[in-house]
Amino acid sequence: MDITEQIIRLALFEDTGLGDVTTESIFLHPQEKTAIIVAKQDFILAGIDVAKKVFHFVDPSMKCKNHFNDSDTIKKDEVIFSITGDIRSILTAERVALNFLQRLSGIATLTRKFVKTLDNPKVRLVDTRKTTPGWRKIEKDAVRAGGGSNHRFALYDGILIKDNHIAAAGSIAAAVSLVRARACHLMKVEVEVSNMDQVQQALDARADVIMLDNMDIDAMTKAVTLIGKRAMVEASGNVSLKTLNAIAGTGVDIISCGALTHQAVSVDLSLRIQN
């Protein structure tokens, strides 16, 4: 079972437990119905396959049809998805399916705003690990649906030496040396810095990527000049729609933005049973 299926199973168990007492009390026998999911606002779609899996987990016999795909622009009142099957199954799956669609589409929609605001095609906008626990894969998929890119997925697939690593190791040089001695030679080493002295230390340690953390625009500009293409440069911290282009103008290669996931607002959708 992949991680998306695990998330869905947990969400359904959380919502249904031993069953849907309301639906099971009203509908004692199967009744075939069709339902549609309708947009109540404009947004960027994400999570359509996750929603389809929710309905199929509840009842594999349900027939699901998506009228749009992830990354599509949805307009208010458009029908994005339809389901035909036993009314009991539709109603039991409804809230969980909508929760996934609304949350993931919210992330895609916010990401698209950032992507459209960023007017420098040479700078890559990426997400972070600031995701909902258990939802990281699908939230990072939603970032891509919105036109953004992914940073490392987790602690195991990318080396990023942060301030607490440096404090515990004693110095940037020591931390980089220890990582180089043990980590796979194919992995790049990224070091987080917050001032010009640390930038120089990261350069001396031959870091592959230098993250400028919470530095102001002037400091970032000076850091990029000092680095001089000897390492890839990432900017992180205080990234918003208002600051995005000023940060990009400093010459950094990458901007990482936790807001893409942790500040996204769910979109508004409705499931309607058809007579």
Which residues are identified as catalytic? 95, 130, 162, 192, 213
Please calculate the CA angle 165-248-217 and round it to the nearest 5 degrees.
70
